[in-house]
Amino acid sequence: MDISGLLGTASTSYTHSNNPISLSTKSGEKVSLPELCRSVTPPCRLNPLLYNGHLQTFWTVFKNQDVPICYKRKVFEADDPRYAGTFAVDFVVKAYDDTEVDMPSRTTHFNGDEFEGVRSLDSKPMLVTLHGLSGGSHELYLRHVLAPLVSEDGGWEACVVNSRGCAMSKITSGVLYNARATWDVRQVVKWLRRQFPNRDLYGIGFSLGANILTNYLGEEGSQCNLKAAVVCSNPWNLEVGSLALQRSWLGLEVYSKTMGSNMKKLFESHVEQISQNPRIDVDRVRNVKYLHEFDRELQGPTWGYPTEGAYYRDASSSDSLLAVRIPLYAIHADDDPIAVKEALPYEEFKQNPFAVLCSTTKGGHLSWFESGGGRWFAKPATGFLMKMAKDINLSQLSQDHIFPLAADANPDAEGPHFDPMRRKLQIHVEP
């Protein structure tokens, strides 16, 4: 009898290309991307009392461990008229005692002089972070990753791009975000590249933020300004995930209902602005119960999708994975009850030499609680990022491969080709 499961040990497996990219270390050695990922991933030993994905995920409600991270907030004005409005970015700073009304804990706005002095010529690595559905920079799962990186020993800088309306931020354009809302992170990365020309930039996304980040990486392709990225508990195929939630009582009445309720609260906090959108029927939004109903009544009309299914198919990141051209490490639990296993793009991982999927048999959704109170996923996530920043010469990313991907096909060449980033949503701006 295998008692490892009873002791909280989860099995770990990896999915990747048979011909992965080769990375050069700063000492001149070569290491493949899967070898690097394995080297930074410790055994997955979790709290044996939280023996399945539901218990792991439920524990996030009760686990109240404090991981102190302080932020200063800057509100950006969108530079693309197609996505007009404002969004908030929270920058990790040294601890301070100030507080500010109508702001999350340990978060205040930059004053003018402070923000003017942000620009730096230092070469510290910097992390761009995307949170999960209706979350924000205050989320505990996010701070578990940031804390060791921004510590004195870690030496990183970091920021969190809050989705519009989240983390007590204001919206000014009458629309919230969606699952493929890559425009704000794109603007932030470009801004960071100008402000910190000597810093290597990295990315990490959690849950819906992982989906957005993967879409962004695919859209940017080989021109991406990020050096490497991590995604945790990515839902990947949103339609498959939504249908899976609707098939069970727990999925529908607990997870979907809770996420739908959270989005309705977010909607109500910005209803004055959102109600100005003539496509939105406020009463219909207020009457929804589940997440897919919310997406049907708000996301669909806002962005012009006829159904929530059309929105999910267009915003999913499973195809975008094929177009990613920087090292990407994905961490997922097989028993995740929200970002379900059947939605994982295993075959796409096998086709992309730039990506590695680490799957654990246990862990739940953004959980992986250990007996000592820590969260296991933070170890491979931070280990991967630190290894990339300290030991890998990313300026010499091996180009020895001829990547046989349809995503790299020349659209002008004869014969059929597949474009994983072709999007159905078209946004026009009145002249």
Please confirm, yes or no, whether 336 is among the known catalytic residues. yes
- CA–CA distance, 275 with 426 (Å, rounded to integer): 22
Token pair for 5: 């499961």
- CA–CA distance, 90 with 143 (Å, rounded to integer): 12
Q: Which of 207, 242, 318, 359 is catalytic?
A: 207
How much is the pLDDT for 413?
62
Look at residue 31 and give its three-state secondary structure: strand
In which region does residue 41 sit, left (phi positive, over 0), alpha (psi from -120 to 50) or beta (all else)?
A: beta
E strand or H helix at 34: helix 33-39
- End-to-end Cα, the chain, rounded Å: 70
- CA–CA distance, 218 with 317 (Å, rounded to integer): 8
pLDDT digits (tens, 9 = 90+) for 249-305: 999 999 999 999 999 999 999 999 999 999 999 999 999 999 999 999 999 999 999
Q: Which residues in the chain land under pLDDT 50?
A: 1, 399-404, 406-407, 431
From 265, 261, 255, 219, select the one nearest 235 (Cα to Cα): 255
From 406, 334, 336, select the one nearest 15 (Cα to Cα): 334
How much is the pLDDT for 424?
83
Please confirm, yes or no, whether 207 is among the known catalytic residues. yes
- DSSP letters, 61-93, are HH-------EEEEEEEEPSSGGG-SEEEEEEEE
pLDDT digits (tens, 9 = 90+) for 30-47: 999 999 999 999 999 999
How much is the pLDDT for 403?
47
Q: Which of 317, 336, 359, 367 is catalytic?
A: 336
In which region does residue 12 sit, left (phi positive, over 0), alpha (psi from -120 to 50) or beta (all else)?
A: beta
Flag whether the pTM goes above 0.85. Answer: yes
- CA–CA distance, 203 with 185 (Å, rounded to integer): 10
- CA–CA distance, 388 with 285 (Å, rounded to integer): 44
- Cβ-in-10-Å burial (0-12, 13-18, 19+) of 221 comes to middle
